[in-house]
Structure 1
Amino acid sequence: MISLSQLAKIFPTKDGDVTAVDHIDLTIDQGEIFGVIGYSGAGKSTLIRMLNMLEAPTSGAVEVAGRNMNSLSGRKLREARQEIGMIFQHFNLLWSRTVAENIAFPLEIKGVSKAEQKERVDELIELVGLSGRGGSYPSQLSGGQKQRVGIARALANNPKVLLCDEATSALDPKTTDSILDLLVDINQKLGLTIVLITHEMHVIRKICHRVAVMEGGRVVEQGDVLDIFRRPQQAMTKEFVKQVTEPEETEEALRHLFDDERTGSVLQLTFVGGDAQRPLITNIVRKFEVDVSILQGKISQTQHGSYGSLFISVTGPQAEEAIAFMREQQVEVEVIHGG
């Protein structure tokens, strides 16, 4: 569906050239939700804007839905862009137009008849959960409702691809989740390919099938979301995964325990899929002469299953045997203190 080959973007400045995107190769499959995560300055916004040629690449190739985007200009480029919807962090709505008029705007530009516009707008208002708000103006809407209008407008021309540029960054956590649920619903109902960029791992964890991690203009790691959570390879990826799997106070709490001689071995256990629901701790206590204390833990859901991270302390004469047993159960065990 989307293929990037050695894609690069260099911005000339008075202080020298700045490489925003550094020769990226990437393939995104039809119908998947693909996330690109990175901190500010990583190059992710420039990357997504090159998919619809809002930003022209310095070198490399972009192919979307069978079209070589680099070779298009004028009318053909406008036609190609109609197959690529886009939503933005700050909504980009027309404040003098109602909800219905904002959604109809792309159809007006395309020359669709008034009757067809109304039919399509009514469909989209229902799809995004804004029934009864067609006559409202953006100033009368909440942030989440504004983004729903943005999504409906992006879908007006029945695009094959939806690009989301930090689409939930301006929203509170509860509203963010509702918008993410809507994107999953749209993906499933319409078979739409969704590409989203974010700096929040919660967004990736909740709806993405695969993810690419960007740093310094390059993709430093990519793969299935569950695999990335299970075995992050790069320091940057591990940092992002910790946003979701470890509460902020984990490190401080564990460091305090390290000073207590009674703590014993402190372990981090990682569970994936069905393993997250198994009674592992109960089995260990029954099977071995050990005391187990649960320090902290969290189970998160991804599109491909659950992912759990649990911190425990183990003391007793059979602590080593208990740790060996845990590893035999296909549970990843990292001894972070003692042992």
Structure 2
Amino acid sequence: MIEVKNVTKIFKTKNGELTAVDHVNLSIQKGEIFGIIGYSGAGKSTLIRLLNGLEKPTSGSVIVNGLEISSIKGKELRLARQKISMIFQHFNLLWSRTVAENIAFPLEIAGVPKEEREKRVHELIELVGLSGRADAYPSQLSGGQKQRVGIARALANNPEVLLCDEATSALDPETTDSILRLLSDINQRLGLTIVLITHEMHVIRKICHRVAVMEAGRVVEQGDVLEVFQNPQAEITKNFVMQVSDSRESKESIEHILKNYPSGKLVKLIFVGNTTERPIISYLIKEFQLDINILHGNISQTVNGSYGTLIVQLDGDSENVEKALEKLKSMNIKTEVITND
């Protein structure tokens, strides 16, 4: 659906050249929700603008559904953009227009007849959960409702791709979750390809199938969300995973136990999928006659399954401890010995 091939974008500034996107390669499949995460200045906003032709690459190519967006212009580009919609952090609504009129705006531009336009607007208002608010103005809406209008407007021309530029950053956590549920529902119902940029790993974890991590204009890591959570490689990815896995708390727990309970072996267990639901601790205690002290645990849900970590202190016969670790590995539970006795 989307191919980004060796794309670089360089801006000329008064202080010299600025490389915003640096030799990026991405392949996004039809119907998936693809997340791009990075801190401010990472280049993710520039990258998403390259996907709909708002920016042209300095080198490389951007292909969307077989059409090279990076090389077309004029009427051809305008028609292509009708199939590549975008929603924004600050909604970008027309404040003098009602909800229905905001949603109808792109249909007016496209020359859709009034009767057909009104029917489509009604469908979209129902789809995004704004029944009864058609005649309200943006000033009368909550942040979440404004973003729902933005989503409905973006869907007006039946796009094939929906770009989300920090679409939940201005919202509170509860509203963010409701908007993410709506996007996930739209993805499933319409088979819409969604590309979502954010600086929050919570957003990636909630709805994305795959993720690319950006730093200083480069993609430093990419893959299935569950795999990235399970085994982050780049330091920045580890920091993002820490946002939703309470690793800081676990670090404090480790320091505390090392100081106060120096015996035994400290082990981090990593569970993926169905292994998160097994009664592992009780099994180890019974099977290997171990004393087990649970220091920290966390389970996160992703689109592709559950990911959990558990930090424990194993105390008992050293041979039994080693047997227990081998047994865990045979059960597809990754183990990481943090310290030895």
Query: What TM-score do you get using the length of structure 1 for normalisation?
Result: 0.97
Query: What is the CA–CA distance in structure 2 between the aligned matches of 1:263 and 1:129, rounded to whole Å?
Result: 57
Q: What is the aligned partner in structure 2 of residue 174 from structure 1?
A: 174
Residue 247 of structure 1: CA displacement?
A: 5.1
Stretch of structure 1 that moved more, 270-279 or 328-337 = 328-337
Aligned 8 A contact 1:257 1:263 in 2: no
Could you report, residue by residue, the CA deviation over 1:288-312 in whole angstroms, capped at 9, with x for unpaired residues? 1211111121111111111111111
Could you report, residue by residue, the CA deviation over 1:93-128 in whole angstroms, capped at 9, with x for unpaired residues? 111111111101101111111111110000000000
Q: What is the aligned partner in structure 2 of residue 311 from structure 1?
A: 311
Query: What TM-score do you get using the length of structure 2 for normalisation?
Result: 0.97
Q: What is the aligned partner in structure 2 of residue 153 from structure 1?
A: 153
Given the alignment of the two structures, is residue 185 of structure 1 paired with residue 199 of structure 2, yes or no? no
Aligned 8 A contact 1:296 1:312 in 2: yes
Given the alignment of the two structures, is residue 299 of structure 1 paired with residue 299 of structure 2, yes or no? yes
Residue 329 of structure 1: CA displacement?
A: 1.7
Residue 269 of structure 1: CA displacement?
A: 0.7
Q: What is the aligned partner in structure 2 of residue 46 from structure 1?
A: 46
Stretch of structure 1 that moved more, 164-173 or 224-233 = 224-233
- Which stretches of structure 1, 4 residues or longer, exceed 3 Å deviation after superposition? none
Query: What is the CA–CA distance in structure 2 between the aligned matches of 1:312 and 1:327, rounded to whole Å?
Result: 15
Query: What is the CA–CA distance in structure 1 between the aligned matches of 2:7 and 2:323, rounded to whole Å?
Result: 51
Q: What is the aligned partner in structure 2 of residue 133 from structure 1?
A: 133
Q: What is the aligned partner in structure 1 of residue 106 from structure 2?
A: 106
Residue 232 of structure 1: CA displacement?
A: 1.3
Q: What is the aligned partner in structure 1 of residue 84 from structure 2?
A: 84
Stretch of structure 1 that moved more, 76-85 or 109-118 = 109-118
Query: What is the CA–CA distance in structure 2 between the aligned matches of 1:211 and 1:166, rounded to whole Å?
Result: 15
Query: What is the CA–CA distance in structure 2 between the aligned matches of 1:11 and 1:295, rounded to whole Å?
Result: 49
Percent identity among equivalent residues? 64
Aligned 8 A contact 2:4 2:27 in 1: yes
Q: What is the aligned partner in structure 1 of residue 336 from structure 2?
A: 334
Aligned 8 A contact 1:212 1:223 in 2: yes
Gaps of 5+ in 1: none
Residue 25 of structure 1: CA displacement?
A: 1.1
Query: What is the CA–CA distance in structure 1 between the aligned matches of 2:131 and 2:263, rounded to whole Å?
Result: 57
Q: Aligned ranges for residues 108-123 of structure 1 at < 5 Å?
A: 108-123=108-123
SS at match of 1:301: strand
Q: What is the aligned partner in structure 2 of residue 207 from structure 1?
A: 207
Query: What is the CA–CA distance in structure 2 between the aligned matches of 1:23 and 1:98, rounded to whole Å?
Result: 43
AA of the residue aligned to 2:190: L
Query: What is the CA–CA distance in structure 2 between the aligned matches of 1:11 and 1:269, rounded to whole Å?
Result: 46
Q: Aligned ranges for residues 267-286 of structure 1 at < 5 Å?
A: 267-286=267-286
1:325 aligned residue (319, 324, 327): 327
Query: What is the CA–CA distance in structure 2 between the aligned matches of 1:303 and 1:261, rounded to whole Å?
Result: 38
Residue 62 of structure 1: CA displacement?
A: 0.7
Query: What is the CA–CA distance in structure 1 between the aligned matches of 2:277 and 2:263, rounded to whole Å?
Result: 26
Query: What is the CA–CA distance in structure 2 between the aligned matches of 1:190 and 1:328, rounded to whole Å?
Result: 41
Q: What is the aligned partner in structure 1 of residue 220 from structure 2?
A: 220
> What do you get for the CA RMSD once the two structures are aligned?
1.2
Aligned 8 A contact 1:7 1:59 in 2: yes
Query: What is the CA–CA distance in structure 2 between the aligned matches of 1:262 and 1:105, rounded to whole Å?
Result: 67
Aligned 8 A contact 1:98 1:138 in 2: yes
Aligned 8 A contact 2:253 2:296 in 1: no
Query: What is the CA–CA distance in structure 2 between the aligned matches of 1:248 and 1:159, rounded to whole Å?
Result: 41
SS at match of 2:238: helix
Alpha carbons of structure 1 residues 263 and 246: separation in structure 2 relative to 1, 3 Å: farther
Alpha carbons of structure 1 residues 234 and 97: separation in structure 2 relative to 1, 3 Å: same
Residue 204 of structure 1: CA displacement?
A: 0.8
Residue 328 of structure 1: CA displacement?
A: 2.4
- The total of aligned residue pairs comes to 339
Aligned 8 A contact 2:45 2:165 in 1: yes
Gaps of 5+ in 2: none
AA of the residue aligned to 2:28: I
Aligned 8 A contact 2:50 2:70 in 1: no
Query: What is the CA–CA distance in structure 2 between the aligned matches of 1:40 and 1:198, rounded to whole Å?
Result: 9
Query: What is the CA–CA distance in structure 2 between the aligned matches of 1:25 and 1:253, rounded to whole Å?
Result: 40
Residue 249 of structure 1: CA displacement?
A: 2.3
Query: What is the CA–CA distance in structure 2 between the aligned matches of 1:313 and 1:122, rounded to whole Å?
Result: 59
AA of the residue aligned to 2:22: D
SS at match of 1:276: helix
